[in-house]
Structures are given as C-alpha cells and as structure tokens.
C-alpha cells in the first residue's frame, strides 16, 4: 500500500499535537477494491462459487465489515508515515477520529497524540548534595539482634488472667468494613500496644479481656500509602480469642548457633554489623541519587504528556492493590484515585523523560550483556532462580522496560559522579518503620 496522504500538524500544547490527515479518493478506492476482491475470492456466499459472486452481492453481505477494515488499514498505514515524515516522537495511544468513506471522496481523519517534550538540558555538573554518614552505631546492631530474638520467640498461653496488657500477643478474628466492602480474617496474631498493625489498632486492645467482642473505628491519614484507604475510616469487628505471653530466648552463644548460623554471639554480632553497613551504604547512595534527581528536576521545567501520567497512575494503583467496586461508581472512583496519586505519577514521568534526554546526550548504550547481568543480580537479591527471572524477561516488553531503566540509571549515575558530595548525619537502617 503506497501512502499519498496529506497531513497537517497543529500544536494543542507543547506535548500534544492534533494531526489532520487526508487520503486521496483514488487511493481509498483502490484499497476498497482490494478489500472487496479479497473477500469475494474467499467468502462462501450462498448460491455462488468462491470468486464468482457479483460485487453488489459482496457489498450487501460484507460491505460494512470490509469498509471498517479498509478504514483501519488506511489510518494505520498512513499515520505511520505521518509520524516518520513529521518526526513525531509519539508516546501513549493516539486518539483517532475517522470519518466514514463516501464514494468518490477522500478519507479524512483527525488524531490527537501525545509527544515527548523537547527538553533543553542545562549544566548538570557540581550539584551540591549531602550523603548520609553510613557509620553503624552499636544501638543499631542491638536492634538488629533484638529482631532476631523476636523472630525466635515462643508463645506461652496466659492462664492466670484475662485482661490484656501491653506486650501480650492476642489471637483475634477480624472483620473490616469500608463502605460495602467487607473482609474477614481469622486467627490473626496482634501484639497489644505495639502499634505495628495499621493505625495502631493493637493499642485499643490494651485493657480489654479474652472473649470480648469489640467494635472499633480506625481513621486512616490522608497520606496513607494505600490510596484506596487514605483519609477513610474503617470499622473493625474484633473477637478476642486467646492470650499469650512472648518468651524471648537469651542472647548468647547458643542463640547464635541455633538461630544465627554463627559459632558465637561475637560472630553473629559481627555479621549483623556487616549486613547493616552494606544496607547503610546502599541507602546513603540511594539518597544521594534521589537528591541529585530532585535537583535536576528543579533545574529543568517542562510539560509532561497527560497520557503517560494516567498510565503511570494506573500502574501505581495496581501496585498498591487497589480494587475498584463493581457498578457505575467505579469510573468516578478511578478518577478520584488517579488524582490522589497524580503528584507522584507526574514526578516519576518527568524524571523518566529527563533521564532519557540525559542518556541521549551522554550516548548511553545498554548491551545485552548489561541486561543479562542485571537479571542475574535481581534474581540473587530476590532469592529467585535465575532461570525463572530470565524467562520473565524473555518477553520483549519486559526486556525493553528493563533496558530503559538501566539506561536511565546509568545517566543519573554519571551526573552523580559530577556532583559535589558532602557527608552528613548517619542513616538509620535498623529501626523498623511502624505501620500506621
């Protein structure tokens, strides 16, 4: 199929174009003739042998279907040439409005499409940032060993009292309600007063007693990580079933051998420190990269394509496990949820576009060997079989996404290497973050 289409491109914004395309009538007619002839040769029409049915009969039987297919083919082929001829860096899915085919008339259609912004890069050398001190204090090592003790703790039934005290481990059945959505969980273990369950539900258990049935409301903050719960009040029905004390093993050489894969407490402590130092260094490096990226974004202001922001919002919501209700309210809720995560989505899209521009300026190339090495590294970090991880990244879209991520990271690391870095306060890697 040749393309004699004429096109004009108009700016809707810096990142959105309106493309008006006209395909000449003779090209439209040629494609229609091909379509009808192809169907005439293949279709089984009652009363006619294949290839012998008159054109009018084919039109009456398959005309609407053939016309739709011809329009789709003409639009796809011609718009591909328009993109190349006008050097449009298209992102997202185009919005196509194609008119009907009229005998002897050209086909006209309009496309709204998002494009990559043109980013003018400034000087990225010498960005001042602070790198947290990666020194690990003794109290961090102590906390890490306490976590090991907690994992090895044994539960002992409490038989001499029924009232719940802080530190008791309580077995409960929970039913939560948020609007029409209900969830039930049985045999949940909670440590009373610890504040590790969302919004410290356990604190409301202190002073209650075994056998109690409680109705508790929990208000989630506006900035809660799960966007479907942020700012909402969840009602809990709680059935208190059992009460246990938590017995921690003594921290000694026997504990090191039984639970720490070490010959002595001193060796276990040394290993814990080494692990924390690796974590502290990684976190410090990550904060440097984030600070450099924030400075880059501050220095480069540009519009971002709306379709990419919507797509990223949907990805974030999916990663948070957001479930939409059935019915007419689903679309309205999706709009509200997208708006809640929009600042994060827009920042992430902006960062990707800026790093892409930097990678292009730096002529960053990611080889197949780079991709394979990262797949093996991810498998090791996530303790998965490399074969399983490689199988996932055999998919072209997954491999392309990984290659793009590596390219952006390498571009950012180059800017980090040019930054002016000073050491600041120590980073805390041992203190667990409590859920709210």
At residue 195, the pLDDT reads 62
The larger pLDDT score, comparing residue 11 to residue 102, is at 11
> What is the token pair recorded at 108?
């006209």
User: Does position 205 have pLDDT exceeding 70, yes or no?
Assistant: yes
Per cent of the chain over pLDDT 70 is 93
Render pLDDT for 4-54 as a digit per residue (tens, 0 to 9): 789 999 999 999 999 999 999 999 888 888 887 887 777 777 777 777 777
pLDDT in tens, 318-346: 888 777 777 667 778 888 888 989 999 99
The radius of gyration computed from the CA coordinates of the chain, to the nearest angstrom, equals 31
Which of the listed CATH numbers 3.30.930.10, 3.40.630.30, 1.10.3120.10, 1.20.140.10 matches domain 263-426?
Answer: 1.10.3120.10
Q: Would the pLDDT of 201 be above 90?
A: no
pLDDT, residue 436, reads 32
| In the predicted structure, residue 282 carries a pLDDT above the cut 80 | yes
Q: How far apart, in whole angstroms, are the C-alpha atoms of residue 287 and residue 282?
A: 9
CATH superfamily of 6-115: Trigger factor ribosome-binding domain (3.30.70.1050)
What pLDDT sits at residue 426?
59
pLDDT at 197: 60
Q: Residue 1's pLDDT band (boundaries 50, 70, 90)?
A: very low
More confident residue, 86 or 204: 86
Strand 420-426 to strand 128-133: parallel, antiparallel, or no bridges (unpaired)? parallel
Beta-ladder partners of 236 = 176, 216
Q: Please name every residue paired with 178 in a beta bridge, in sequence order, or none if there are none.
A: 181
- Burial class of residue 120 (count of CB atoms within 10 Å of its CB; 0-12, 13-18, 19+): exposed
Q: Give me 345's structure tokens.
A: 């989505």
Name the nearest CA neighbour of 17 among 107, 98, 82, 76.
82
Residue 70: Cβ-neighbour burial (10 angstroms; 0-12, 13-18, 19+): buried
Q: Is 227 exposed, middle or buried (0-12, 13-18, 19+ CB in 10 A)?
A: buried
Q: What count of other Cβ atoms lies within 10 Å of the Cβ of residue 124?
A: 21
In a 3-state reduction of DSSP, which class is residue 204?
helix
Binned at pLDDT 50, 70 and 90, residue 261 comes out as confident
Q: For the chain, report the end-to-end CA distance as a whole number of angstroms.
A: 61
Both tokens assigned to 119:
């980013």
d(CA 401, CA 387): 19
From 15-24, 63-72, 82-91, 117-126, the region with the lowest mean pLDDT: 63-72
Q: Which fold has domain 154-247?
A: Chitinase A; domain 3 (3.10.50)
Average pLDDT over residues 345-362: 96
Q: What DSSP line would sit under 50-116, residue for residue?
A: TT-S-HHHHHHHHHHHHHHHHHHHHHHHHHHHHHHHTT--EEEEEEEEEPPP-TT--EEEEEEEEEP
The pLDDT of 239-253, averaged and rounded, is 92
Question: 188: which strand partners?
Answer: 172
Domain borders along the chain are 6-115, 154-247, 263-426
Mean pLDDT for the stretch of residues 116-145: 93
Degrees, nearest 5: CA angle 103-111-395: 115
pLDDT band at 435 (very low <50, low <70, confident <90, very high): very low
pLDDT per residue as tens digits for the range 149-197: 988 999 999 989 999 988 889 999 989 888 777 889 999 888 887 766 6
- Inter-CA distances, 346 with 111, 222, 315, 338, 420, Å: 24, 19, 12, 11, 27
Quick one: tokens of 32? 């229609």
Q: What is the dihedral of CA 378, 383, 386, 388, to 10 degrees?
A: -100
Q: Provide the 3-class DSSP secondary structure of residue 360.
A: helix
């Amino acid at each position: 199929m040749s393309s004699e289409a004429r096109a004009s491109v108009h700016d809707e914004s810096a990142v959105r174009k309106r493309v008006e395309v006209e395909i000449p009538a003779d090209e439209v007619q040629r494609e229609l003739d091909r379509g009808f002839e192809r169907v005439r040769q293949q279709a089984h029409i009652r009363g006619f042998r294949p290839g012998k049915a008159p054109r009018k009969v084919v039109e009456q039987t398959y005309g609407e279907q053939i016309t739709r297919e011809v329009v789709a083919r003409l639009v796809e082929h011609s718009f591909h040439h328009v993109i190349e001829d006008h050097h449009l860096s298209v992102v997202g899915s185009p919005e196509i409005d194609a008119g009907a085919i009229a005998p002897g008339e050209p086909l006209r259609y309009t496309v709204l499409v998002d494009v990559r912004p043109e980013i003018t890069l400034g000087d990225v050398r010498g960005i001042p940032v602070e790198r947290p001190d990666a020194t690990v204090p003794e109290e961090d090592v102590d906390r890490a060993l306490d976590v090991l003790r907690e994992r090895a703790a044994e539960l002992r039934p409490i038989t001499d009292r029924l009232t719940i005290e802080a530190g008791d481990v309580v077995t409960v059945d929970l039913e939560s309600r948020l609007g029409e959505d209900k969830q039930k969980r049985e045999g949940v273990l909670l440590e009373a007063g610890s504040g590790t369950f969302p919004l410290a539900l356990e604190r409301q258990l202190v002073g209650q007693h075994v056998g109690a049935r409680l109705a508790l409301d929990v208000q989630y903050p506006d900035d809660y990580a799960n966007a479907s719960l942020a700012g909402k009040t969840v009602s809990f029905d709680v059935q208190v079933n059992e009460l246990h004390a938590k017995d921690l093993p003594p921290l000694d050489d026997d504990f090191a051998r039984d639970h720490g894969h070490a010959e002595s407490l001193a060796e276990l402590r040394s290993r814990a420190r080494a692990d924390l130092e690796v974590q502290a260094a990684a976190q410090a490096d990550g904060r440097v990269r984030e600070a450099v990226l924030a400075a880059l974004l501050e220095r480069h202001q540009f519009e971002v394509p709306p379709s990419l922001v919507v797509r990223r919002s949907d990805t974030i919501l999916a990663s948070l496990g957001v479930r939409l209700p059935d019915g007419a309210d689903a679309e309205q809720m999706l709009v509200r949820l997208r708006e809640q995560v929009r600042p994060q989505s827009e920042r992430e899209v902006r960062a990707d576009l800026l790093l892409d521009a930097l990678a292009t300026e730096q002529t960053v190339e990611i080889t197949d060997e780079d991709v394979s090495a990262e797949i093996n590294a991810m498998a090791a970090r996530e303790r998965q079989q490399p074969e399983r991880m490689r199988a996932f990244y055999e998919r072209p879209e997954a491999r392309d996404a990984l290659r793009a991520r590596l390219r952006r990271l390498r571009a950012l690391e180059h800017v980090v290497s040019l930054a002016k870095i000073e050491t600041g306060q120590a980073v805390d890697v041992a203190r667990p973050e409590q859920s709210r």
